[in-house]
Amino acid sequence: MSTLAVAAGLLFVAGVWAVVAGLQRREPPQRARPPVAPFAERWARLTRRPAGRRGRRRDLLLGGSVLAGLAVAAASGWVVAIGVVPALVLGLPYLLSAQQPRDIALLEALDRWVRGLSATLATGRSVTDALRVSRRTVPPLLADEVGLLVARLDNRWETREALLRMADELDSPDADAVLAALMLAASRGANGASVTMEALADSIQASLRGRRAIEVERSKPYVVVRQVTVISLLTLAAAFAVSPRFFSPYRTPTGQLVLSVLVAAYVGSLLLMRRKAQQRERPRLLIGSSR
């Protein structure tokens, strides 16, 4: 009997231990990442290589442009083509593409958000409740900021402080105008808030029309410069194919120096054009406590 009792006790202890071990949560073993070659890591850090497909595409483009530069140098005798061709292949798409402003996309998202708030406020809800409801239909561009706003309101933040923090996160004069109107509506108990939001949405629509017209005018020089660049490159290629001796002076050291200066001047003019076309930052209306 004593032997049976000891065996039963051991089995009971083993069963309890198995149950406790089974209830413990264990992290699944993580797969070891393939080691990154030191050269690849230094190359990515030195050239600011983007991750994923963009980085691989850029590496392929760089390799192809280097081979094209070697081919041009071998065919024409222009040694500077080994560096000039990759620089043009990688730099021209950036220099000849119009900058996409953030303001237009942000205004479109603010317009949708404000119109949703206006419809909710028209039902008699408070500003705080309308902000919570707007989280369900907020545009993707504002989803993170509105989600943080609602989380702060749920954690008993004052509406004004939560809106000020959202204004700092968006960092835009257009968003400041919307959030300032919401602050005033919240301080007045949402009296007339729906009408204010509708008028604000109409103002945003007028600003959108003006910004879009400005961007159309701003993109016109880029279109002209792209056409001039393509025509110039095709003309030079055709002239070289028909009469290579016309470019023989550029094979000398002095000619290659002149060619480098001409290419640098052209690239510099493109950089100047891009700098002139940049949109100037406008002063903000709200500065929160985090600044």
Distance (Å, whole) CA 50 – CA 44: 8
- The pLDDT of 52-79, averaged and rounded, is 73
pLDDT tens profile 44-59? 665 555 666 766 776 6
Residues sharing a CB contact under 8 Å with residue 93, sequence separation 6 or more, in sequence order: none
Residue 30 above 60 pLDDT? no
Count of alpha carbons within 13 angstroms of residue 38, beta-carbon side? 0
| CB contact burial 55-77 (16+ within 10 A = b; e otherwise) | eeeebeeeeebeebbeebbeeeb
Task: Answer yes or no: is pLDDT of 66 > 50.
Answer: yes
> How many Cα atoms within 13 Å fall on the side-chain side of residue 118?
17
- The Cα–Cα gap between 181 and 172 comes to 15
Q: What is the pLDDT of residues 193-246, one digit of tens each?
A: 788 888 888 888 888 888 888 888 888 888 888 888 888 888 888 887 888 788
In the numeric block, which tokens belong to residue 96? 């000849």
Q: How confident is the model at residue 259 (pLDDT cuts 50, 70, 90)?
A: confident
Distance, CA of 175 to CA of 270 (rounded, Å): 32
The DSSP H or E segment spanning 124 is none
pTM: 0.60
Whole-number Å distance between alpha carbons of 157 and 163 = 10
Q: How does DSSP classify residue 246?
A: G
